[in-house]
């Protein structure tokens, strides 16, 4: 279920992964996308990379110091809109990854808290201008949620931001690595119909959280896009999707089992080295997972079996 900018966030089920009766499949199958912060280029140039790779859409980072050029810099948002029209690649969401550098936990009234508020305003404005219905607010590094103060302060910031998102017809999703009880508590504290949790298939796993169990606890609060990522703990290596220790098959089987039908599966493996062969292989696997979700609960668990036969399907040109 997709919420477009300007529609309004009417209720807690709107814009979440559409809840289907257990056993039903997604119709249509989820889109498959990329994130520009894991590509060799960012902003408008990422649309052409996605088109050549055969992706349906891209999540864009707002950029900032030490990151890509600001997405909302002079002329860049109009250029991005033109690129969408030229390539047919969708803008899936806009993320403010620089918040990991500033810190959502900054005390109210501090200079960093003022910076956080400014970034969130820019994030929401950019999403509206690009027609993206979803904005992403991450909670890592300086924004990592730890302890009671971390949970409370994060909820305060997100509650205000979610209210502003709802007023613009947007949904706001937070990505974190909280265990199920704390993730549920965050949703309760934010208490906004425009608030969601962004599911990532690997980050919680690295923090010791079993992602299939997390889905069972927070399914109704998940955003309609999922980050697909895999790894091999302790190695720094990025294997092909499903070849690592991230339980990708089990996670997507849990998505289907709980009746979720996401709008998009978005790859967040690292392709900044320009390895288009590996990107194409991961996109082919993500597309198989998307098709498997369309078949219902039995699909995702079986999607990876025998996948090596076609894991290097050619990208579109």
Catalytic residue annotation: 175, 268
**C-alpha to C-alpha distances, 61 to 10, 98, 113, 230, 260, nearest whole angstrom:** 26, 9, 20, 20, 26
DSSP designation for 239: P
Residue with the two structure tokens 């999707």: 241
Euclidean distance between CA atoms 134 and 174, whole angstroms:
11
Which residue, 111, 108, 89, is CA-closest to 43? Answer: 89
Residue with the two structure tokens 């790779």: 53
Euclidean distance between CA atoms 108 and 100, whole angstroms:
17
- The SS3 of residue 151 is helix
Which residue, 151, 149, 157, is CA-closest to 178? Answer: 151
Euclidean distance between CA atoms 41 and 63, whole angstroms:
12
Euclidean distance between CA atoms 154 and 163, whole angstroms:
14
Distance between start and end Cα atoms, the chain:
30
Euclidean distance between CA atoms 133 and 173, whole angstroms:
11
- Contact status, residue 140 vs residue 37, Cβ threshold 8 Å: no
CA atoms within 13 A on the CB side of 177: 14
7 burial (CB, 10 Å; 0-12 / 13-18 / 19+) is middle
């Amino acid at each position: 279920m997709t919420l477009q900018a300007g529609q309004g966030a009417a209720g807690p089920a709107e814009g979440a992964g559409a809840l289907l009766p257990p056993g039903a499949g997604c119709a249509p199958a989820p889109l498959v996308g990329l994130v520009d912060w894991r590509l060799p280029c960012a902003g408008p140039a990422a649309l052409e990379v996605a088109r050549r790779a055969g992706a349906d859409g891209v999540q864009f980072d707002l950029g900032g110091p030490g990151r890509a050029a600001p997405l909302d810099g002079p002329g860049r948002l109009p250029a991005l809109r033109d690129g969408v029209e030229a390539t047919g690649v969708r803008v899936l969401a806009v993320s403010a990854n620089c918040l990991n550098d500033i810190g959502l936990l900054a005390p109210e009234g501090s200079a960093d808290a003022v910076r956080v508020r400014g970034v969130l305003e820019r994030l929401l404005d950019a999403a509206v201008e690009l027609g993206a219905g979803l904005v992403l607010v991450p909670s890592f590094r300086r924004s990592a949620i730890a302890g009671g103060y971390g949970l409370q302060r994060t909820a305060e910031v997100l509650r205000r931001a979610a209210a502003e998102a709802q007023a613009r017809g947007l949904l706001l999703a937070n990505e974190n690595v909280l265990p199920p009880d704390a993730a549920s508590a965050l949703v309760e504290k934010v208490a906004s119909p425009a608030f969601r949790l962004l599911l990532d298939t690997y980050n919680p796993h690295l923090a010791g959280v079993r992602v299939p169990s997390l889905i069972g606890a927070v399914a109704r609060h998940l955003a309609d896009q999922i980050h697909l990522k895999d790894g091999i703990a302790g190695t720094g290596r990025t294997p092909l999707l499903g070849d690592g220790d991230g339980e990708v098959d089990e996670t997507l089987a849990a998505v289907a089992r709980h009746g979720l039908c996401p709008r998009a599966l978005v790859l967040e493996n690292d392709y900044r080295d320009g390895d288009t062969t590996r990107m194409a292989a991961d996109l082919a696997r993500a597309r198989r997972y998307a098709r498997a979700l369309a078949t219902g609960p039995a699909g995702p668990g079986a999607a990876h079996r025998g996948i090596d036969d076609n894991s290097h399907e050619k990208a579109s040109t």
